[in-house]
Amino acid sequence: MPNKLIRFLILFIILMVTGFSIGYLKTFISLRENHAGNNYAENIENHDVSNLEEIKLKPGAKMIYITYYSGCGHENREEKTAEERFAGFTKKQLEKEVEGWEIESFTPDEVVLKKQIDGICGDHYYIGLNDGYVTLFRGLPGVQSEVVEKTDILADTLREEDRTMLERGIIINSREEFLEIREGLTN
């Protein structure tokens, strides 16, 4: 019984080695034939590509707009369906229509457009002081900001440590967080 198993294993190993060898030799020979005396660039030049059709945008294609804000490092991604007027546009035609955007990728079904803005996105809020009142700002303390809501809480009525933190600005992530802090300041 063990002799039959050993013969079978030896035969199996010989067949595997032979099969791999034949496959390797066929690949090696075909590579040599393709590159023997032929310059790859010459092969490309010998083909007429002038009649190839340019890639065009399909109706209903997806357009992905990615805005990068260098001031905060955030990226905003927005997906839309392409306007009907863009159907059939080539990449060059679309570049003329979407000034300010760089086309990162272009396929008939999807276009990815990128733009960089030197500033911060609208997702930043902080609580600070404005004209002696606790105020909600959009932006970052000391960078860019606009008043969103001025409260009726006077800075003079706050504890010294709260007033010091508000003078520097308390960065928050949502309007709900603002409401919680506001309520805490009034207690």
pLDDT, one tens digit per residue, over 128-156 is: 998 999 999 888 787 778 888 898 889 88
Average of per-residue pLDDT across 81-107: 91
Average of per-residue pLDDT across 54-80: 90
Predicted model pTM: 0.55
Query: How far is 176 from 21, CA to CA, in rounded Å?
Result: 69
Whether 41 is in a domain gets the answer no
- Number of domains the chain is built from: 2
Domain shared by 129 and 182, yes or no:
yes
Q: Which domain holds residue 150?
A: 125-186
Closest CA to 81 of 58, 98, 60, 95: 60
129's tokens: 């002081």
The pLDDT of residue 81 is 94
Query: How far is 21 from 5, CA to CA, in rounded Å?
Result: 24
The pLDDT of residue 69 is 87
pLDDT band at 78 (very low <50, low <70, confident <90, very high): very high
* pLDDT surpasses 80 at 24: no
The pLDDT of residue 52 is 53
Query: How far is 64 from 113, CA to CA, in rounded Å?
Result: 6
The pLDDT of residue 175 is 78
The pLDDT of residue 35 is 55
Whether 32 is in a domain gets the answer no
170's tokens: 């308390």
Residue corresponding to tokens 């260098």: 70
**Partners of residue 135 on adjacent β-strands:** 128, 150
Using the 3D structure, point to which of 117, 134, 159 is the last residue of a domain: 117
